[in-house]
Amino acid sequence: MSKAEKTRQFIIESTAELFNKKGYAGTSLAHISEATGLTKGSIYGNFANKDEVAKEVFLYNAKRLSAALDSRLQPEMTSREKLIAILDYYKNSWDSNFSRGGCPLMNTAVEADDTMPFLKNEVAKSFAGWSEKIARILEEGKSKDEIIDSINSADYANLFIMLIEGGILLSKTTNSQNHLNNALERIIKIIDTELVR
């Protein structure tokens, strides 16, 4: 990694939590400068503008979330065990995720929906990748005769994401993890009554 690449990565990592907590509109160049200890000139020497910083920070946060989920999935697990491992991540990492501002996909999606197409497109790609990850687990389960063959994997993947994100939204808004836990329990019930053979 070149010095310039290291500096860019340092800026991204140093502002990842900042952008996730304050959002794009709430994060100023002064905030970025304070978080990194770099001058405004140094920041703009590595990024064309604030939009580019925000996009790279979102991609970093989304990749970190995806890697955290992947780290819980082992090849020897059944399809059900993989799905439960994903749910366990959300249940057991609530405190650390909440302290970092919550789900970066949801936070960015809400803020970027009507005002920042350059970010909205990246969020849409991240949600699509997450959906595909879950759908692959279900399709693999079908091939191993663990999951009912007639189910629509993509539809269930999107349903699970909607329940998880809705649970996070209510839990974050009310400062109570109960809503997320209820959503996760509902997903487990769906897995056991509608999906698993």
Per-residue pLDDT tens digits for 135-164: 999 999 999 999 999 999 999 999 999 999
Q: Judge whether 30 lies within some domain.
A: no
By residue range, what is the domain housing residue 75?
A: 57-195
Q: Judge whether 149 lies within some domain.
A: yes
Section 177-197 average pLDDT: 97
Q: Judge whether 36 lies within some domain.
A: no
| Residue 117 structure tokens | 């197409």
CATH number of the domain encompassing residue 126: 1.10.357.10
Cα 101 from chain centroid? 12
Task: Note the pLDDT of residue 101.
Answer: 87
Arithmetic mean of pLDDT over the chain? 95
| Residue 100 structure tokens | 């970092």
Check pLDDT > 90 for residue 80.
yes
DSSP state letter for 102: S
Q: Judge whether 182 lies within some domain.
A: yes
DSSP state letter for 48: S
Check pLDDT > 90 for residue 84.
yes
Task: Note the pLDDT of residue 113.
Answer: 81
Section 123-127 average pLDDT: 96
Amino acid at 119: L
Task: Note the pLDDT of residue 103.
Answer: 93
175, containing H or E segment: none
Task: Note the pLDDT of residue 81.
Answer: 98
DSSP state letter for 195: I
Confidence of residue 72 (pLDDT cuts 50, 70, 90): very high
Per-residue pLDDT tens digits for 7-56: 999 999 999 999 999 999 899 999 999 999 999 999 999 999 999 999 99
Q: Judge whether 119 lies within some domain.
A: yes
Section 166-183 average pLDDT: 95
Q: Judge whether 27 lies within some domain.
A: no
Q: Judge whether 124 lies within some domain.
A: yes
Number of independent structural domains in the chain? 1
Q: Judge whether 161 lies within some domain.
A: yes
Task: Note the pLDDT of residue 97.
Answer: 86
Check pLDDT > 90 for residue 98.
no
Q: What is the largest distance, in Å, between two alpha-carbon atoms of the chain?
A: 60
